[in-house]
Amino acid sequence: MVKPELENKELFKSGHTACAGCGVAVGLRHIMRALGKDTIVVNATGCTEIFTSAYPKSAWAVPYIHCVFENSAPVAAGISEALRAMGNDHTKVVVISGDGASYDIGFGHMSGMFERGHDVLYICYDNEAYMNTGVQRSGATPWKAHTTTSQVGKQIRGKMQFKKPLTEIVAAHNVPYVATSTSAHYADLQQKVQKAKEIKGPSFLNVLMTCVPGWGTTPSLSMQYLKDAVDTHVWPLMEIENGFSKLSMKPEKKPVEAYLKGQKRFRHLTEEDIAEIQEMIDERWDHWVWKEKVDQERKAGLEASE
């Protein structure tokens, strides 16, 4: 792993109003240090916008723009086109938007941006629900999780649907660099941000970030849950470069219970539920291990025949 060259000044300033222990605020700080000054940030409506930009104060030491909930991708595309048309070939345009903006309401516009290949790095900070409006389900909310719109009742117990595989969907757009990370794996995150930044064209990072009230945890455990998400294989860290996938870490598997326990959104889960989740996670992990093998062999084969 290459040690990333970090901006020595904070570009995401303190004094914002995120909750104590907010995984998003931690992630933003790492991301901004990895991006550096020559960056324009585009942000969708959501927690980040609210906790960083209450007029007349701003936490951003780089140019920042927010327009509405679902249009950060096309706003970024417009900036990128404008920079190109006006002869600026160095400034990086970076979207930082939530899972609601990315998995759901802005999904079509984001897909359009990737399909057209604008020079934009899109970072989805995935805290697995609409947190700003008080924890409602999104396409990113995991199976069975409780939110205020996937409640636990007598007949239905949490979200009935599975998490949308956004990382793979974006990769299927032939986006040259797609990766996952978390706020807690900051070296991994910063390295991936810097790699993505160098791509001329679209790139995508899907970064898991804790929400303290949304997940029902405490500030002191905010980073621990992200580590557990990776160690239990719930959130595999990977890169998909030009279609070839590679796992960034292959941690020895912890039982999924280590991740689920203590989060209030999962507290209604039965033993059977947990066993079923474990089975699904194992299956997904096996899939990624297999896919990495196939992809890397294919890549090596292609390189050898060149």
Per CB under 8 A, does 75 bind other proteins? Answer: yes
Per CB under 6 A, does 274 bind ligand SF4? Answer: no
Q: Residue 302 is encoded by which pair of tokens?
A: 């292609």
SS3 147: strand
Nearest distance, CB of residue 99 and ligand TPP, angstroms: 4
Per CB under 6 A, does 6 bind ligand SF4? Answer: no
Nearest distance, CB of residue 156 and Mg ion, angstroms: 22
Report yes or no: 184 and 226 within 8 Å, Cβ to Cβ: yes
Q: Which residue has the tokens 């890397």?
A: 296
Among 147, 214, 234, 266, binds ligand SF4 (CB under 6 A): 214
Nearest distance, CB of residue 215 and ligand TPP, angstroms: 11
* Whether residue 202 has a cis bond before it, omega within 30° of 0: no
CA distances (Å), 146 to each of 134, 137, 267, in order? 12, 8, 9
Residue with smaller CB distance to ligand SF4, 74 or 214:
214
Report yes or no: 208 and 179 within 8 Å, Cβ to Cβ: no
CB burial of 168-207 (b: ≥16 within 10 Å; e: otherwise) equals ebbbebebbbbbbbbbbbbebbbbbbbbbbebeebbbbbb
Nearest distance, CB of residue 166 and ligand SF4, angstroms: 18
CA distances (Å), 76 to each of 82, 95, 219, 275, in order? 10, 7, 32, 42
Residue with smaller CB distance to ligand SF4, 149 or 248:
149
Per CB under 8 A, does 84 bind other proteins? Answer: yes
Per CB under 6 A, does 131 bind ligand SF4? Answer: yes
Among 21, 24, 46, 71, binds other proteins (CB under 8 A): 71
Per CB under 6 A, does 47 bind ligand SF4? Answer: yes
Binding track over 224-243 against ligand TPP, x by CB under 6 A = --------------------
Query: Per CB under 6 A, which of residues 75..104 are in contact with ligand TPP?
Result: 98-101
Q: Which residue has the tokens 């240090």?
A: 33
Among 109, 157, 227, 254, binds other proteins (CB under 8 A): 109
Contacted by 53, from ligand SF4, ligand TPP, Mg ion, none: CB < 5 to 8 Å by type: none
Q: Any residues with CB less than 8 A from the CB of 131 and at least 6 apart, and which? A: 46, 47, 98, 211, 213, 214
- Kindly list the residues in this chain that would bind ligand TPP in the complex (CB under 6 A): 44-48, 69, 98-101, 127, 130-133, 138
- Kindly list the residues in this chain that would bind ligand SF4 in the complex (CB under 6 A): 18-19, 22, 24, 47, 51, 127, 131, 211-214
